[in-house]
Amino acid sequence: MRSSGYCALGATLWVSTVLKGLWEDGGGGHGYPGLLGTSSEVGQRGRLLRLLPWPQRVTCKEVGADATVGPRFDYSGVGNSDGNLQECTVGKWRKDVLSIIDDLAEGPQILVGSSLGGWLMLHAAIARPQKVVALIGIATAVDGLVIQFNQLPVEVKKEIEVKGVWSMPSKYSEKGVYDIQYSFIKEAEHHCLLHSPIPVNCPIRLLHGMKDDIVPWHTSIQVADRVVSKDVDVILRKNSDHRMKEKSDIQLLVYTIDDLIDKLSTVVN
Q: Which amino acid is at 11?
A: A
Instruction: Show which residues are catalytic.
Output: 115, 212, 242
